[in-house]
Every structure is written in C-alpha cells, then in structure tokens.
Amino acid sequence: MKIAVVGTGYVGLVTGTCLSETGYEVTCIDIDEKKVEAMKNGVVPIYEPGLEVLFERNIAQGRLNFTTSLEEGVKGAKVIFLALPTPPGEDGSADLKHILDVATKLGGLLEDYTVIVDKSTVPVGTADKVRAQVAKKAQVEFDVVSNPEFLREGAAVDDFMKPDRVVLGVSTKRAEELMGELYLPFVRQGHPIIFMDVRSAELTKYAANAFLATKITFMNEVANLAEKVGADVEMVRRGIGTDNRIGARFLFAGIGYGGSCFPKDVLALNQTGLEHGYEFQILPAVMGVNHKQKLSLLPKLKQRFGENLKGKRFAFWGLAFKPNTDDVREAPALYMIEELLAAGAEVIAFDPEAMDNVRNLLANRIEYAENGYECLDGADALIVATEWSVFRSPDFNRVGSLLKNKMIFDGRNLYDPHKMKQLGFDYVCVGRNVEI
C-alpha cells in the first residue's frame, strides 16, 4: 500500500517513518526545499529517541521518500495523511488555513478512491470542511477520516509502533476497512482500534490532552497548598496515585506543562466551547494556574536575592519543556529566563538537546555551556527546569564547589530534601516545604 504524508513536522515525520517500518511505501511532502533535501540525505530535523535508526533504515531500503511536490507525493497513494500545523489564532482557535489549502489542491489530484486522514489536532467539524474543499475538484470517490495522534514527545516512536489504542473517526464501511488494514500491524498485541463517528474522534484528542493537563495542574495546586501547610506533595502523590480510579501518571508536581500540544489544545478546546455557546469552567482555571506555575520559583528566588537581580548569575539545567526532546515551545525555562533577564540577572544554561533551538530564540541574550558542570562555575544558584536523566544523579560535592552559593531551585523535584540538607544545600523545590 502506498501512503502519502503531507507535512514533516513532529507528527508527520514520526507517522511517515513508523508506517514505512512496517513495509508500507511512504512519501513525505513538505514545501521547505532545504529541509526536504536534508532529509533525503538522512538528516533527521528533530530530536526524538529511536527515530533516527528507523529513518535511516527505511530511506536506505527505499520505503521512505521525500518531495516538495504535492502532485508527485500523492500519486498512487491509497491513504493521504494531513499532518500540517494548526497554530492558535488570535482568539485561541486552531488556524486551519494550511490544512484547507492542501485539501483544495488534493481534489484535482485524486485518480482513484482515496482516504484522506486528518492526523493534525483539529477542532470538531474540520473533517466536514476538508471534505467540502476536496469535493470542489474531485472526480473520484474519497473519504475523510479523523485519526488523532497520541504521541508523547520523547516516546513517540514507541507510542506509534505499540499504541495503547488507535482512534479512527469514519463515515463509511469502505474507509473503516481500509484504515483497519493499515493499522493492523500495530495492534497485534491486542490493543484496540476504536472506530467511531468523525466528530467524536475529533473531540477525543482535545478531551484527552485537556484532561491530562488538568491532572498536572491539579497536582501543582495541591503542591502549592502543601508548602503552606507543611505537607509533602510527593507523599500525597503516592497516596492518591495508587488509587486505580486516579492512577499515578501525570501527578508529578513541578513548574507547569509546556510543549506543542497541551497549551494549544486546552486553549482550542476552550474556544470551541465558546463558539458553540458552552463556557468551560475548568479549562480557563487550568490555563491560569499553569501560567503562574511556570514562574512559581521566582518569588522564592527573590526572597533570597531581592527584587533587583543585577549582577546575579543563575545557571539553568534544562531548557526543553520536557526531557528527551529538543522542543522548547512554551517551556517553563524560557518564561523564567525572560523574568530573570528583565530583573537584571545573567543566565547561563545547559540542555542536552535543546540549546540550538533556544539560540534561535534568544541568541546571545544568555550564555550556553558545554555541559552541566561548566554552567555552574561562579553562578549564584542552580535552577533545574527539565528532568533530564543526566541531571538526576550529579556529583553534589562538585556542584557545591562550583556554585557561589550552595543553593538549588529544583522545579522538577529531582532530589531528596533530607539528603540535600545533609549536604549543606539551601534546597528549594515544589510542594515539599516540610520540616526535616
């Protein structure tokens, strides 16, 4: 079966590469000529664990191809995935211009029955709009399917190859059978393919991300209360996470969520509600709390150093919004850095993968270190913003000797407060303001 994937961003590239790994002939299409040429030469444009091996293997074996030509890319394809950006507009709703522009062009290129798949995260009703645009020029039968992605950055290859579930919104039996055949290699371990109507599938993606964002935000609010009452949020997390009605995942307190999905999807779901005359009560609170949480370490830092931070130097461990990715979109570290710079401070940072992306945003407004220890030398304090594995077990004697003050502001609760006190650190974390 030949497959086309329009768009080689995070979702499109992972989708195309993983589909080719199971034997499908895949052509990925993108308008960026330099990016396409680089991919043809085996250069992976994003950091995602496990992706490079599959990428190189399937290019070498001729199953994974790239082009800038939409006509060339979709020729002969039975399934065309639309994995195009849907950035938030001024009102927070998803901007569908890229998807609808491609849909308009596709109509005149279809030569036989084809399934067009909305893989991007899109609001309810998008499939109807895509169908209308394709139909303007289509001379053959086609179907539009909603197939939301549930890929976690940092674990996307495993998530695609061994999904918890595959959600497919279909409107005809013909589309159901073809998509069921397409995904059969990925569900041999017994995980379900869930067929439903198209609008339910579109809503499922937003509902899933909004719920996970709510779990994170709820735990951060509990952490804020824990600090005031002298409780330990880690103990609370263990106490409620073992309840199988709640579950342990997404209950780690910290400095908020970021990335390409949660912020955009919560905003878009809230806007969808408003457009249909329904005002969410939970989602605005989730967004508000999360924004404050990204900056929640700063008042604690200013308690120790004062409001005017001119001449102070702070080291950051982590810039990506989460570990195992180079994605810095809505990363809490960037929000904190902007506030510190505005207060007159200097910042030096290290991240295993995300520094090039931050250089593109901040240029020389901050300094960049070659490793975690280098950025500590002479810094007034260390701020841990991303829970990369390399930061979990540092040489604390070395850390203390390099810092001007033995002070760590840990936004990800990586370390044991008892141990940190024994080592002589002033250790500030999230929701663990306990007497030790």
Separation CA 268–CA 270 (nearest Å): 5
158-184 pLDDT tens trace: 999 999 999 999 999 999 999 999 999
Chain centroid offset of residue 130 CA? 25
Q: What is the CATH number of the domain that holds 181?
A: 3.40.50.720
Separation CA 323–CA 254 (nearest Å): 14
Domain termination residue (choose one: 257, 292, 327): 292
Amino acid (one-letter) located at 280: F
Domain-located, residue 60 = yes
| CA-to-CA dists, residue 365 to 93, 346, 376, angstroms | 32, 9, 18
255-272 pLDDT tens trace: 999 998 899 999 999 999
Share of the chain above pLDDT 70, in %: 99
Domain-located, residue 65 = yes
Domain termination residue (choose one: 292, 318, 343): 292
In which band, very low, low, confident or very high, does the pLDDT at 189 lie, cut at 50, 70 and 90?
confident
DSSP codes, 154-174: TSHHHHHHS-S-EEEE-SSHH
Separation CA 159–CA 20 (nearest Å): 15
Rg of the Cα atoms in the chain: 24
**Does one domain contain both 287 and 330?**
no
**Does one domain contain both 31 and 150?**
yes
Q: What is the domain range of residue 261?
A: 205-292
| CA-to-CA dists, residue 301 to 55, 194, 280, 417, angstroms | 44, 48, 34, 17
- As to burial, measured by CB atoms within 10 angstroms (0-12 exposed, 13-18 middle, 19+ buried), residue 428 is buried
**Does one domain contain both 352 and 226?**
no
Active-site residue 429, yes or no? no
Residues 6+ away with beta carbon under 8 Å from 421: 427, 436
**Does one domain contain both 319 and 287?**
no
Q: What is the CATH number of the domain that holds 224?
A: 1.10.1040.10
8-state DSSP, 428: E
Domain-located, residue 360 = yes
User: Which ranges in 32-112 belong to alpha helices (H)?
Assistant: 33-40, 51-60, 70-74, 97-107
**Does one domain contain both 209 and 324?**
no
Amino acid (one-letter) located at 308: N
321-332 pLDDT tens trace: 999 999 999 999
For 143-158, what is the mean pLDDT?
A: 95
Domain-located, residue 190 = yes
Q: In total, how many domains does the chain have? A: 3
**Does one domain contain both 301 and 282?**
no
**Does one domain contain both 305 and 287?**
no
Given the residues 28, 261, 375, 429, select the one marked as catalytic.
Answer: 261
**Does one domain contain both 165 and 63?**
yes
8-state DSSP, 368: E
Domain-located, residue 434 = no
| pTM metric for this prediction | 0.91
Domain-located, residue 191 = yes
Domain-located, residue 363 = yes
**Does one domain contain both 44 and 101?**
yes
**Does one domain contain both 280 and 368?**
no
pLDDT at 434 over 70: no
Write down the pLDDT at residue 204: 96
Domain termination residue (choose one: 277, 292, 307): 292
**Does one domain contain both 246 and 334?**
no
Strands 381-384 and 367-368: unpaired
**Does one domain contain both 238 and 315?**
no
Strands 64-67 and 193-196: unpaired
